[in-house]
Chains A and B, each alone.
Chain A
């Protein structure tokens, strides 16, 4: 078996930066995920990120990550055993063996957590994930688009309490998982939408682990990180300016709100409004949509290129807003239904970023 890429401790900062960009403003801070993965790799050795074509058709792929409150994650760092318990729970229930772990969500901290778990299991991760970005809800994954059953799913805490759930669909899994994660202490590690490698080839955002690493590396090594990002992606620069207004409120467990960026330099005189629900959803200028979900909208610090999390947006920050295409699987009718603008309450249809002015 030939691996696509070897993830050693030196690669992780680049991967973390890439995960942060792909988080589209959400997905949680990558810092603790980065440290946990670093410790796991220093202890157990590097992790291979392999293309799905190089794995056996009938092997099982285990999508995994954390669900729950980011505030809990900065206190409860995890036991590093979560991956083992998830895998054991799945294999008790299913015939077959897990041959690779997969980040359920490449965007934000969940892009990194499975790397550490894979190191301790001495398994590879897939060079693929279930979103190609970050999204707030369990069923907003590419596997749902492809019709993969979310059951059986396994939830575990860091003590080793773990249970297998047969939810009838992704929505129920979401409800059950949220309630259980509170009982577990505000957060749970989970796996859902387990599938065979053959299924995963059609049901995932592929190449995203290497993509995150490549864009992260380019940005960290460049003097002009946003230029470097533009060289790696079909990047649309929405506006360069400063944040002049931020409104934020927490409803139903989600951070909702908006930020206004006023143009500077060559964008002087322009105003861009970003609407937020944990992630950046829509960018509007004079009432005209300039970018929208599921395409990725990222807010980057103009000087350092560091992505600015929606929870950290603040008046006066010098930022450059950029957008780039989501994984093509989101552009299918079912993908747009799950994560297009109407799924977030907007009354307009999805138009790909490439076709917008």
Chain B
């Protein structure tokens, strides 16, 4: 029988791995420490989870990986490709040059040169000016042989991609078929600066993705696994490996999305709030129709503003290792955490730092450690726990979009810190295997795609625009690896354009479906 899936999630502290069967039963799980090279931690987690009793590794057909490789590469400016940055947007965007807000060292590490050439599209689909083909050739010619990729970003590429596609042809004519080309309409949404940043980062990360992919392949081979591999992306869905190699930037920030999706799966809920309580911080997100609600605010990656599809989160610096300071009259929780040092520095492990874990033990909610917290600190611990509970309640309230009580799913190692009753919460759900919710999220993920562009109502009116948007979203989901006959539209959002006296609307449509070969 070939029916098992292996999900891996690489976090800042732990690498979690799970094995699940065709009926979505969890057969094995492990938690290993993350290593500096990341890959070592993945190896260790693979080895541990495969050694669980009753696991026949020959039955594993799919491996899903959510990893921090790409994030780390950007933050550490390591292993990044050399990219020629081309904006198709003169004269309509020359007031702000490409990479204007990038830190100098990152710009030096990535950019082989930047230009703004003539071209671009209006919101209604007209050409702003024709594409400056000669200008593009003049910019590219001297770069031949010195760069790894080209990032192309056109004005309103989300309305029409034609200038980007035309420019892509020219890049291949000038620099050959092997040079990687990232096209902004395939990566970002509205907002040219953020989309351009994401497109350039994408180009820069192509080698990193290739390296992770081959490291994963060899790790799997050395374990005797022959499985199809997928990468988790930042909206909680999967990409087939060839898609991930083309869009590596989308693997950034898959962790929170995975834990929200995992929480949904483990609890069976489709509409709920989710709190992922870790050692240093807690992320509270929202599950809508089985998917994380996405943030509308700009997301920064390594100091670069982008417009990725990231889950909408309220993050608070409260977790199991949060340090309590002050007196019981005016206690402060965090933001400092003992993190990995919990088992040496917390009071219940004989250390001298009062933490929230100590508070949970003193309160009788948790039974860990080697000794009881000292009596003299009990009132401080109790006050700290109350303060933390207030923070949870506030975070839960802030993430909601409307009044009314909602269920709250609690996952993550620090889940005991959340009390049974939280204001604004109708029901508290602590699912089994909550400690590996993120790896579960990777293992059960479906494949999705999103369309975000401006439509002007033509002859068919609004209905035709909605049809067009949903058709595009479905097609993209299938290209990303979803089963064509089971792709569903999971989200449609319309935003009319203000201050215009012609009907135009920005439409975001998301389609998702199960993996095509499970």
Query: Which A residues fall within an 8 A CB radius of B?
Result: 32, 35-36, 38-40, 67-72, 74-81, 116, 158-160, 178-179, 182, 185-186, 242, 244-245, 250, 253-255, 278, 311-312, 314-318
B residues in contact with A244, CB < 8 Å: 403
Min distance, Cβ B401 to any Cβ of chain A, angstroms: 5
The CA of A185 and the CA of B497, in the complex, are separated in Å by 13
Q: Which of B177-200 contact A (CB under 8 A)?
A: 190-193
Known: A182-B501, A185-B124, A316-B397. 11 other contacts (CB 8 A): A32-B193, A35-B193, A71-B190, A76-B93, A77-B89, A77-B92, A79-B94, A81-B94, A159-B128, A178-B501, A185-B126
Tell me whether chain B's interface is mostly helix, strand or loop, or mixed: loop
Residue interface bits B122-141, CB-to-A below 8 A is 1, else 0: 11101011000000000000
B1, CB-defined interface residue at 8 Å? no
Give every chain B residue within 8 A of A72 (Cβ-Cβ). Answer: 123, 497
- The segment from B95-103, B248-256, B409-417, B476-484 that touches chain A is B95-103
Shortest C-beta distance, A280 to chain B (Å), equals 16
Q: How close is A221's CB to chain B, nearest CB, in angstroms?
A: 22
CA separation between A74 and B120, bound complex, in Å? Answer: 14
Q: Which A residues are in CB contact (< 8 Å) with B91?
A: 79, 81, 158-160
Query: Among the interface residues A80, A160, A317, which one has the most CB atoms of the partner chain B within 10 A?
Result: A80
> Complex Cα distance A35/B122, Å?
22
B92 and A68 form a contact (CB under 8 A)? no
Contacts A74-B190, A75-B155, A77-B192 known; A40 to B95 CB distance under 8 Å? yes
- Residue B247 CB within 8 A of the other chain: no
Please, which residue of chain A has its CB at the minimum distance from the CB of B505? Answer: A250
Q: Which 7 A-B pairs have the closest CB atoms?
A: A79-B91, A78-B95, A36-B95, A80-B95, A316-B398, A185-B122, A250-B496
- CB neighbours of A158 from chain B (8 A): 91-92, 128
Once bound together, how far apart are the Cα atoms of A250 and B123, in whole Å?
18
C-alpha gap A312/B100 in the complex (Å): 25
Minimal beta-carbon separation of A116 from chain B (angstroms): 7
**For residue B399, which residues in chain A have a CB less than 8 angstroms away from its CB?**
316
A255 to B126, alpha carbons, bound, how many Å? 26
Between B96, B122, B500, the greatest number of chain A beta carbons within 10 A of the residue's beta carbon is seen for B96
The reply to whether B93 and A78 contact each other, CB–CB distance below 8 Å, is yes
Q: Residues of B with Cβ closer than 8 Å to A?
A: 89-97, 100-101, 120, 122-124, 126, 128-129, 155-156, 190-193, 296, 397-403, 454, 496-502, 506
Contacts of A36 in B (CB 8 A): 95-96
Given contacts A69-B123, A72-B123, A80-B94, contact A182 B403 (CB under 8 A): no
* A-side contacts of B498, CB under 8 Å: 69-71, 250, 253-255, 278, 311
- Given known contacts A35-B101, A159-B129, is B156 in contact with A75 (CB within 8 Å)? yes
Q: Is the Cβ of A253 less than 8 Å from the Cβ of B126?
A: no
**Which of A68, A75, A254 is within 8 Å of B191, CB to CB?**
A75
When distances are taken between beta carbons in the complex, the residues of chain B under 8 Å from A242 are: 397-398
> Nearest residue in A to B128 (C-beta to C-beta)?
A185
CA distance A78 to B128 in the complex (A): 12
Contact across chains for B499 and A69 when beta carbons are under 8 A apart: yes
- CB contacts (< 8 Å) of A78 on chain B: these are 92-96
Q: In the complex, what residue of chain A is closest to B101 when comparing beta carbons?
A: A35
Instruction: Give the residue name and chain of the B residue nearest to A178 (CB).
Output: B501
Docked pose: A242 CA to B314 CA in angstroms: 15
**What distance in Å separates the Cβ of B453 from its nearest Cβ neighbour in chain A?**
11
A75–B88 alpha-carbon span in the complex (Å) = 11
Contact A186 B398 (CB under 8 A): no
Tell whether A35 pairs with B190 under 8 Å between CB atoms, given A79-B91, A316-B397. no
With A39-B100, A159-B129, A244-B403 in contact, is A70–B94 under 8 Å at CB?
no
CA distance A244 to B402 in the complex (A): 7
In the bound assembly, the distance between CA atoms of A71 and B90 in angstroms comes to 19
Complex alpha-carbon distance, A93 and B126, angstroms: 31
In chain B, what residue has the closest Cβ to A76?
A: B92
Q: How far is the CA of A69 from the CA of B498 in the complex (A)?
A: 6
A78 to B400, CA, bound (A): 37
Q: How far is the CA of A311 from the CA of B296 in the complex (A)?
A: 11
Contact indicator A316/B123 (Cβ below 8 Å): no
**Known contacts A158-B91, A316-B400: does B192 contact A75 (CB below 8 Å)?**
yes
Which residues of the other chain, B, contact A311 by a CB distance below 8 angstroms? 498
User: Are B401 and A314 in contact (CB-based, < 8 A)?
Assistant: yes
Q: How far apart are the CA atoms of A312 and B298 in the complex, in Å?
A: 12
Tell me which residues across on chain A come within 8 A of B496, comparing CB atoms: 250
Instruction: Give A182 to B296 CA distance when docked, in angstroms.
Output: 26
Docked CA distance A201–B192 (Å): 39
Q: How far is it, in angstroms, between the C-alpha of A242 and the C-alpha of B126 when the chains are bound?
A: 43
B-chain residues with CB within 8 Å of residue A81 when the two chains form the complex: 91, 94
Chain B nearest Cβ from A351, distance in angstroms: 30
A-B contact pairs, 20 of them (CB 8 A): A32-B193, A35-B193, A40-B95, A68-B500, A70-B498, A71-B454, A71-B498, A72-B497, A74-B190, A75-B155, A75-B156, A77-B89, A77-B95, A79-B94, A159-B129, A182-B500, A186-B122, A253-B501, A278-B498, A315-B402
Collect the chain A residues with CB atoms within 8 Å of residue B124's CB. 185-186
> B191 — which chain A residues lie within 8 A by C-beta?
74-75
Bound Cα distance from A159 to B129, whole angstroms: 8
**Cα separation A254 to B499 with both chains bound (whole Å):** 6
Complexed CA–CA distance, A80 and B122 (Å): 18
Alpha-carbon separation in the docked complex, A255 to B93 (Å): 26
Chain B, Cβ-Cβ closest to A311: B498
Cβ A185 vs Cβ B123 within 8 A:
yes
Chain A residue nearest to B402 (CB atoms) is A315
Q: How far is the CB of B161 from chain A (nearest CB, A)?
A: 14
Q: Name the residue among A70, A75, A160, A182 with the largest chain B CB count within 10 angstroms.
A: A75
Give the complex CA separation of A317 and B402 in angstroms.
11
Q: What residues of B have a CB within 8 angstroms of the CB of A39 in the complex?
A: 95-97, 100
Q: How far is the CB of A282 from chain B (nearest CB, A)?
A: 20
Residue of A nearest to B496 (CB): A250
The minimal Cβ–Cβ distance linking B323 to chain A, given in whole angstroms, is 21
How many angstroms between the C-alpha atoms of A143 and B454 in the bound complex? 36
Q: Which residues of B lie under 8 Å from residue A67 when comparing CB positions?
A: 499
**Cβ–Cβ < 8 Å partners of A250 in chain B:** 496, 498
B140 to chain A, nearest CB (A): 23
B402 touches A71 (CB 8 A): no
Nearest Cβ distance between residue A275 and chain B, in whole angstroms?
A: 17
Is A315's CB under 8 angstroms from B122's CB? no
* Cα distance A71–B500 in the bound complex, in angstroms: 10
Quick one: which of A76, A254, A317 contacts B155, CB cutoff 8 A? A76
Most-contacted residue by chain A among B94, B190, B499 (CB, 10 A): B499
How far does the Cβ of A66 sit from chain B's closest Cβ, in whole Å? 10
How many Å lie between the Cα of A244 and that of B398 in the bound state? Answer: 10
Q: Which residue of chain B has the shortest Cβ distance to A120 in the bound complex? A: B95
CA distance A40 to B296 in the complex (A): 29
**Residue in chain B with minimal CB distance to A36:** B95
Q: Are B101 and A315 in contact (CB under 8 A)?
A: no
Interfacial chain A residues near B155, Cβ < 8 Å: 75-76
A71: contacting residue among B193, B401, B497, CB under 8 A: B497
Choice from B92, B97, B122, B123 contacting A79 with Cβ under 8 Å: B92
Shortest C-beta distance, A261 to chain B (Å), equals 13
User: Contact: B190 with A75, CB < 8 Å?
Assistant: yes
Inside 8 A of A185's CB, which chain B residues have their CB?
92, 122-124, 126, 128
* Docked CA distance A278–B498 (Å): 9
Compute how far the CA of A68 lies from the CA of B500 in the bound complex, rounded to whole angstroms: 7
Residue of A nearest to B395 (CB): A316
Could you tell me the distance between the alpha carbons of A78 and B97 in the complex, rounded to whole angstroms?
11
CA distance A351 to B403 in the complex (A): 33
Chain B minimum-CB-distance residue to A39: B96
**Interchain CB contact under 8 A, A318 and B500:** no
User: In the assembled complex, how far is the CB of residue B163 from the closest CB belonging to chain A, in whole angstroms?
Assistant: 13
Contact in complex: A159, B500 (CB < 8 Å):
no
Rounded to whole Å, the gap between the CB of B506 and the closest CB of chain A is 6
Task: Looking at the assembled complex, report how far the CB atom of A276 sits from the nearest CB atom of chain B, in whole angstroms.
Answer: 12
Q: Which residues of A contact B89 (CB under 8 A)?
A: 76-77
